[in-house]
Amino acid sequence: MGGTSPCASCKLLRRRCSKECIFAPYFPSDDPRKFAIVHKVFGASNVSKMLQELGVHQRADAVSSLVYEANARVRDPVYGCVGAISYLQNQVSQLQMQLAVAQAEILCIQMQQQEPTITTQVDQDQKSLLLSVNNNYETLPHYLNFPSSSSSSSNVFHDPHEPLKRESFWA
């Protein structure tokens, strides 16, 4: 900056800090680590070019972003900020899922407190159908007849009105 103490970038690069130094307003001499990490990741020349292309009112935000990205790159050289953002998005998703489960539990508890316990009984016809042992396949609903991939080796037929037949797997 032309005064007694050069900015952090000029100190690190071991050069004289002029009044026109583009780094001086954003990398003060009392925080040398800030420029050191940005220089390590992006290079002083690239940072200088970026700052020169921006308007003066945008430079502070750009430096802040560069410092953040440089710190993220040092912590995670492959993904950088994207890794941190992805981690936080996953954390938000997990917390949203936990919130939904908690809200569902609250709703269930509220419903149990509002209404007396209702016991549901399975229809006797359905119960007997499910528990039947007498192999009366004609009573099964037609949607249980799945289409077969090969008609010769399948034990399920296409016709919903035809009873199911067992075939040997070894035939």
The pLDDT tens digits of the residues spanning 55-64 come to 999 999 999 9
Residue 159 above 80 pLDDT?
no
Residue 170 above 60 pLDDT?
no
- Domain coordinates in residue numbering, the chain: 6-73, 81-113
Q: What is the pLDDT of residue 149?
A: 43
Higher pLDDT, 167 or 150: 167
Higher pLDDT, 44 or 126: 44
CA distance 156 to 145: 6
Q: What is the pLDDT of residue 145?
A: 45
Q: With contact defined as beta carbons under 8 Å apart, do 57 and 86 qualify?
A: no
Q: With contact defined as beta carbons under 8 Å apart, do 140 and 164 qualify?
A: yes
Q: What is the rounded average pLDDT for all residues in the chain? A: 77
**pTM passes above 0.85:** no
The number of residues making up the chain comes to 171
Residue 71 above 60 pLDDT?
yes
Three-state SS at 59? helix
According to DSSP, residue 33 is labeled H
Q: With contact defined as beta carbons under 8 Å apart, do 22 and 7 qualify?
A: no
Three-state SS at 56? helix
At 9-32, the pLDDT tens digits run 999 999 999 888 999 999 988 889
Q: Which percentage of the chain shows pLDDT scores above 90?
A: 50
Q: What is the pLDDT of residue 160?
A: 53
Q: In the block, which residue shows the tokens 């430079």?
A: 59
